A and B are shown apart, each in its own frame.
Chain A
Amino acid sequence: MTFQEIVLELQDFWSKQGCAVVHPYDLEKGAGTFNPATFFGALTSAPARFAYIEPCRRPADGRYGENPNRLGKYYQFQVIMKPVPAGITDTYQKSLKAIGLDPKKHDLRWIEDDWESPTLGASGVGWEVWLDGMEITQFTYFQQMGSMPLSPVSVELTYGLERIAMYLQKKDSVYDLDYGGGLTYGDIHKPQERELSRYSFETADVALLSRHFNEWEAEGARLAGFGDPIPAYDCVVRASHLFNTLEARGAISVTERAHYIGRIRSLARKVMELYIEKNTPKEPAVSK
């Protein structure tokens, strides 16, 4: 099964489970959770069922295309469901079967792994799922966002696509994966990895990035003032990625780091509160 076939199978599988297959969000981000389908989807009591592939950027993980297991840009396949359907762990096992991983022929383990995102003030309880010892999925019941308890809670599944593909194709290097279309993963991604690693570690303009961070933070607060959480949230995503790049570039000291995270978190919280306020049905006014 090629890399793209895995993605297509998962899309097909979860679409049959009633998920809308939305698409990657068009901003750089560190994790699929940042896609508004999940970020906003988890916040209110409205039902949410989405599945999507999401490119993720982790500038600090870039290895110039030289490490067979580590990438500065890679993919996650993400599912979010609210309310949580009964038997979700069984459904997940069936999805593995759909991509050629029969749980009966493998060792499937659920290892405690709670999730936390200090930047989003978010946390969840769950597992990492091990297939024959390899972590292939993060399985999380969101409990809090913007430091507020969620009700009803959502379940988030994050598949590590490259790892699953390496396992299925028995490849020791991510770059040797058969992507589909007659190409390897390396054909498509190696030049990116090389140049983006150089950017993140060597050539990124620190002054420009810092300025942009300040500007997007201010812009987010300004936009929130107009009562529209969606453009304000885009600013959160941008600021967050700028922070990640600055950090990879070695431009943020330990003490500054906490300060940066605090700034993103407070903007994210403002956006969340705004979104909830705007999207919670108002109690009908009591007439006399």
Chain B
Amino acid sequence: MAKKIKLNDFLLDIHTEPFPARFVPPALGQLQVNAAKWLEGKLDHGDIAVSGTLRHLILTVKGVAPKGNDKTERFKGPKVGAPAPALEGFARKYGLNPNQLIPEGGILYAEVHSKGEPAAAVFQAMIPELMKSLQFPKFMTWEETGFKFGRPLRAITALLGDKIVPVSIAGIKSGRGVHGHPVLAKAPAILKDPAKHSSILRQGLVIADPKERREYLLKALAQATKSTGGITDPDEELIDETVFMVEHPVPVLGKLRDAHMVLPAELLKLVMKKQLKFFPVVTKTGLLHPYFVGVRDGLSSGNELVREGYQRVLEARFNDAAFFVGRDSSTTLASKLPQLERVTYQKALGSMSQKAARVEELAVWIAARLRQISPVDEQAVARAAKLVYADLVTDVVKEFPELQGHMGGVYARKDGESEKVALAVEQFYYPVAAKSPTPATAEAAVVSLAGKLDSLAGCFAAGMIPTGSADPYALRRQALGLIRIVLEKQLPLDLDEAIAHAVSLQPVAVPDQAKLSAQLSDFVWGRAQSLFEDMKYAVDEVRSVRVGALKNFPNAFLRLAALRAVRRDPAFDALAAAFKRASNILKQVKIEDGVALERGSLRDQADFDLYDALVTAEGAANDRIVRGDFEGGLKTLVSVKPHLDQFFEKVMVMVEDESLKKQRLALLGKLVRAFRLVADLSEIQASAS
């Protein structure tokens, strides 16, 4: 006879003093996962959900069964016929008599039946463990029991159905009080039904659900800026932070004074965002508008006063910024260079002044390497390279390290440097993120490359090589920047050579420079691989262009694209297989260098056919390849396929006749080398279809 079982909802609201915004999302994630783990197998339940603010971590479990599951557990014991004391001891451990043990396959087992606990008891045991399981970036203690948590506890609301789940943690007893927004300072509301929790919080001016709070915030920001014709600067980081900095977002629109609009816009924006958590207002095209929006927490009464306060604080901060800009501008960038001697770059790698000298030398060297193939304004490169680090000693950059480079560009223009030079200084650190732009001009690109090469070579030389996920000097980002620049700016710079040169300039003793340079080249190639894979190239395709890729990276990309295009041909897999066979044969025997391939020394028709086809194709392919038409080149080479098939079918490579064998190996070697100008097809894996 089935009886209808009444299911209850469970609610836990951990109310604390304000958490730092960054603490909350991870804590909520853990709350959900750890609660699910705790309940698994113990108690039947429905959905588990979390929500929260800087002052509330909230967990709800829907549809909780009134009691936990009955369980039978079996424990393995001694063998049948074991000495009596052993049997007694084992049985006692599980509260049994030896005659209650169950024999099976010569072994005795203890079987323990446990009744499912009432749901309230399960939650009562869970709450303290759950709270202890939360990992915060930093823990603290605040009361006598020494309980460790991210911030001091203020209250615990714990209800199963309409009943309190009694717990006591860090001197706080759980109850049914719900604490709304602190500025209301009213007595806590009384909760009788877990389902009403969020609406009670809402009445107390707390929007508990982060998603809802975010939407509310975005709407409020749009509303607030409507009258200005602009929008708030779309800064996801600041939005995420604000969602966990306020419980009930109330926007306050303020105005910037015209006098401040002469300061660099990036500086103004940063002051607003970083120092005051204000949203700058920008036009639809991204230009700074003379407005900002501060987001206050809670009520909108006294908004006039708050606006005045915001504007006064902003005024003081902008005055500081203006003071810094004024001080920085009182001397030129060039005249600040000697100060770099007192700034340490890395202990092993000397001062910033020494780094600057290396970067300058490297930039000039790169420009010279490119002179024949892709000339740049070498004077501008040299001048910019000299100035790139000067802004590190300016007051603005000391205050806002994020503005390095940018302020250098601003000050260079003020000093009357050419636009080419100023831009190269400004964009020296580009790309600043994986998808952000690379330097705009070839000169800026060269200087930026020099900086990255020096950082990479320096860290590798000093043994600071990233391992696993640890990359404290962000070398992966530097390497990615390096290849993105040569690729996007189409610079045919030999990176292997540039890396070796950068390594040779480092002030630390490197026992084996060639080995270290090769290691760094491999590291850079690692980034290239993931860049190509991001572009949806297959792993085997990327691998097949490895040889020589860093000697001309833009070409490596063209080779890759050519390979992919040609691979669409249904016959391609068969070609790759034949090619692999050829290169496997070559791998098995060590081909001695210097065996000159001579048509006349070959023997069979299949030999001659392959030879002739290859010579013709190679010539035609090379013509195309030098023009950058790798696809055409590869297609031409592919035309030898029937002859290669014939060759493998009709003749043996490993014949008794030693000289003929060598000739045939040389023929295959020629084939493999011809293809390698585009791709090493032996890396290609046959498609699964």
| Residue A134 CB within 8 A of the other chain | yes
Indicate which residue in A83, A107, A134 contacts B252 across the interface (CB closer than 8 Å).
A107
CB 8 Å contact bits of B232-276 with A (1 = contact, 0 = none): 000000000000011000001000000000000000000000001
A110 to B183, CA, bound (A): 12
- Whether B185 and A167, one on each chain, are in contact in the complex, defined by CB atoms closer than 8 angstroms, is no
Give the contacts of B287-314 with A (CB-CB under 8 A): 294, 296-299, 301-302, 305-306, 308-310, 312-314
CB 8 Å contact bits of B307-336 with A (1 = contact, 0 = none): 011101111100000000000000000000
- Whether A133 and B313, one on each chain, are in contact in the complex, defined by CB atoms closer than 8 angstroms, is yes
Minimum CB–CB distance from B92 to chain A (whole Å) comes to 38
| Residue A132 CB within 8 A of the other chain | yes
CB 8 Å contact bits of B145-162 with A (1 = contact, 0 = none): 010000010100000000
| Residue A26 CB within 8 A of the other chain | no
Report, nearest first, the 5 A-B pairs whose CB atoms are least far apart: A132-B309, A105-B302, A107-B296, A112-B20, A110-B18
A89 to B306, CA, bound (A): 21
Q: What are 30 inter-chain pairs, A to B, with CB distance below 8 A?
A: A84-B152, A89-B182, A90-B185, A104-B183, A104-B184, A104-B298, A104-B299, A104-B301, A105-B305, A106-B306, A106-B309, A107-B252, A107-B294, A107-B296, A107-B309, A112-B20, A112-B22, A125-B138, A132-B296, A132-B309, A133-B309, A133-B313, A134-B313, A141-B140, A141-B152, A143-B140, A152-B143, A152-B144, A153-B140, A172-B315
A141 to B141, CA, bound (A): 8
B146: which A residues are within 8 A, CB to CB?
A: 151
- Whether A83 and B306, one on each chain, are in contact in the complex, defined by CB atoms closer than 8 angstroms, is no
Give the contacts of A61-119 with B (CB-CB under 8 A): 69, 83-84, 87, 89-90, 93, 102-112, 114
- CB closest residue in chain B, given A45: B144
Indicate which residue in A83, A87, A127, A133 contacts B18 across the interface (CB closer than 8 Å).
A127
Give the contacts of A132-181 with B (CB-CB under 8 A): 132-134, 141, 143, 149, 151-153, 155, 167, 170, 172
| Residue B415 CB within 8 A of the other chain | no
| Residue A131 CB within 8 A of the other chain | yes
A133: which B residues are within 8 A, CB to CB?
A: 276, 278, 294, 309-310, 313-314
- Whether A106 and B182, one on each chain, are in contact in the complex, defined by CB atoms closer than 8 angstroms, is no
Give the contacts of A12-61 with B (CB-CB under 8 A): none
- Whether A84 and B141, one on each chain, are in contact in the complex, defined by CB atoms closer than 8 angstroms, is no
Give the contacts of B576-602 with A (CB-CB under 8 A): none
A141: which B residues are within 8 A, CB to CB?
A: 140-142, 152
- CB closest residue in chain B, given A102: B302
| Residue B17 CB within 8 A of the other chain | yes
A105 to B655, CA, bound (A): 97
B276: which A residues are within 8 A, CB to CB?
A: 133
With A107-B294, A112-B20 given, is the CB distance from A84 to B142 under 8 Å?
yes
Indicate which residue in A87, A114, A155 contacts B138 across the interface (CB closer than 8 Å).
A114
With A108-B297, A141-B152 given, is the CB distance from A134 to B309 under 8 Å?
yes
- Whether B182 and A151, one on each chain, are in contact in the complex, defined by CB atoms closer than 8 angstroms, is no
- Whether A153 and B141, one on each chain, are in contact in the complex, defined by CB atoms closer than 8 angstroms, is yes
- CB closest residue in chain B, given A108: B183
The winner among A69, A125, A131, A152 for most chain B CB atoms within 10 A is: A125
A172 to B315, CA, bound (A): 9
Minimum CB–CB distance from A252 to chain B (whole Å) comes to 14
Minimum CB–CB distance from A110 to chain B (whole Å) comes to 4
With A132-B309, A141-B152 given, is the CB distance from A109 to B185 under 8 Å?
no
A83: which B residues are within 8 A, CB to CB?
A: 143-144
B245: which A residues are within 8 A, CB to CB?
A: 109
A281 to B187, CA, bound (A): 41
A105: which B residues are within 8 A, CB to CB?
A: 301-302, 305-306
A84: which B residues are within 8 A, CB to CB?
A: 142-143, 152
A106 to B307, CA, bound (A): 9
A152: which B residues are within 8 A, CB to CB?
A: 143-144
- Whether A104 and B309, one on each chain, are in contact in the complex, defined by CB atoms closer than 8 angstroms, is no
- Whether A125 and B140, one on each chain, are in contact in the complex, defined by CB atoms closer than 8 angstroms, is yes
A83 to B152, CA, bound (A): 13
A167 to B296, CA, bound (A): 17
Minimum CB–CB distance from A88 to chain B (whole Å) comes to 8
- CB closest residue in chain A, given B302: A105
Question: Which residues does B use to contact A, with CB under 8 Å?
Answer: 17-18, 20-22, 54, 138, 140-144, 146, 152, 154, 182-185, 245-246, 252, 276, 278, 294, 296-299, 301-302, 305-306, 308-310, 312-316
Minimum CB–CB distance from A152 to chain B (whole Å) comes to 5
A155 to B22, CA, bound (A): 23
B182: which A residues are within 8 A, CB to CB?
A: 89-90, 93, 103
A25 to B258, CA, bound (A): 46
B313: which A residues are within 8 A, CB to CB?
A: 132-134
Indicate which residue in A109, A110, A170 contacts B17 across the interface (CB closer than 8 Å).
A110
- Whether B301 and A107, one on each chain, are in contact in the complex, defined by CB atoms closer than 8 angstroms, is no
Minimum CB–CB distance from A109 to chain B (whole Å) comes to 6
A125 to B149, CA, bound (A): 11
- Whether B142 and A153, one on each chain, are in contact in the complex, defined by CB atoms closer than 8 angstroms, is yes
- Whether B183 and A93, one on each chain, are in contact in the complex, defined by CB atoms closer than 8 angstroms, is yes
- CB closest residue in chain B, given A110: B18
Minimum CB–CB distance from B87 to chain A (whole Å) comes to 45
A141 to B306, CA, bound (A): 28
A170 to B138, CA, bound (A): 38
With A103-B183, A106-B305, A127-B18 given, is the CB distance from A132 to B310 under 8 Å?
yes
B138: which A residues are within 8 A, CB to CB?
A: 114, 125
Beyond A83-B144, A106-B306, A134-B313, list 19 extra A-B contacts (CB 8 Å).
A84-B142, A89-B182, A90-B182, A103-B185, A105-B305, A106-B302, A107-B297, A108-B297, A110-B54, A132-B308, A133-B276, A134-B309, A134-B312, A141-B140, A149-B141, A152-B144, A153-B142, A167-B309, A172-B315
A108: which B residues are within 8 A, CB to CB?
A: 183, 297
A102: which B residues are within 8 A, CB to CB?
A: 302
Minimum CB–CB distance from B312 to chain A (whole Å) comes to 7
Indicate which residue in B299, B309, B312 contacts A172 across the interface (CB closer than 8 Å).
B312
A27 to B269, CA, bound (A): 43
A109 to B21, CA, bound (A): 12
The winner among B298, B308, B313 for most chain A CB atoms within 10 A is: B313
A109 to B301, CA, bound (A): 16
- CB closest residue in chain A, given B171: A86
A29 to B309, CA, bound (A): 31
- Whether B316 and A107, one on each chain, are in contact in the complex, defined by CB atoms closer than 8 angstroms, is no
A106 to B309, CA, bound (A): 9
Minimum CB–CB distance from A108 to chain B (whole Å) comes to 7
Indicate which residue in A107, A114, A143 contacts B141 across the interface (CB closer than 8 Å).
A143
A143 to B305, CA, bound (A): 36
A167 to B446, CA, bound (A): 51
Minimum CB–CB distance from A127 to chain B (whole Å) comes to 7
Minimum CB–CB distance from A141 to chain B (whole Å) comes to 5
- Whether A131 and B309, one on each chain, are in contact in the complex, defined by CB atoms closer than 8 angstroms, is yes
A170: which B residues are within 8 A, CB to CB?
A: 308, 312
- CB closest residue in chain B, given A134: B313
B154: which A residues are within 8 A, CB to CB?
A: 87
Minimum CB–CB distance from A22 to chain B (whole Å) comes to 24
